[in-house]
Amino acid sequence: MADNSLFLNLFRRKESTAYAAGQTVIEAGTKGEAMYVVLEGEVSILVGGKEVEVGGPGSIFGEMALIDEGLRSATVVAKTDCRLAEVDRRQFEFMVSESPFFALAVMRIMADRLRKANRGTASA
């Protein structure tokens, strides 16, 4: 599993947006123009209406849409009041090109999520 402190340290001073508990941050099936870093609080990541992950400080979500330019694969809802930093495509691409550690951390998170999804499918 990736060390989420990297994302927290990189983006903790970035301008952020507050979300109230229960507020939808992103909706599955929509176009994605940014990824998000949880600075404070928790978010629920939902696939097909089922919670598949809870993200706390330092967690990221929305990165897949920036990588493949596809539609959002999950809905994300603020589980608690939270503060999120938005990372747009330009900043994401800059970070990937300039920091191998950033790129590897994103890949590790995606690999971890894929492995968890595969385990869930295998047991169904």
Residues 71-104 pLDDT 10s: 999 999 999 999 999 999 999 999 999 999 999 9
Residue 50 identity: K
Q: Rounded to an integer, what distance in angstroms lies between the CA atom of residue 52 and that of residue 15?
A: 28
Segments making up each domain of the chain, as ranges = 5-114
As given in the structure block, the two tokens for residue 53 are 């992950």
Tokens describing residue 70: 């596809």
Q: What is the pLDDT of residue 4?
A: 74
pTM value is 0.89
Q: What share of the chain is helix, strand, coil (3-state, %, to 5)?
A: 40, 30, 30
CATH homologous superfamily of 5-114 equals Jelly Rolls (2.60.120.10)
What single-letter DSSP state applies at residue 31? B
3-state SS assignment for residue 65: helix
Nearest 10 degrees: Cα torsion 62, 22, 27, 105:
10
> Which residue stretches of the chain have pLDDT < 50?
1, 122-124
Q: What is the pLDDT of residue 3?
A: 63
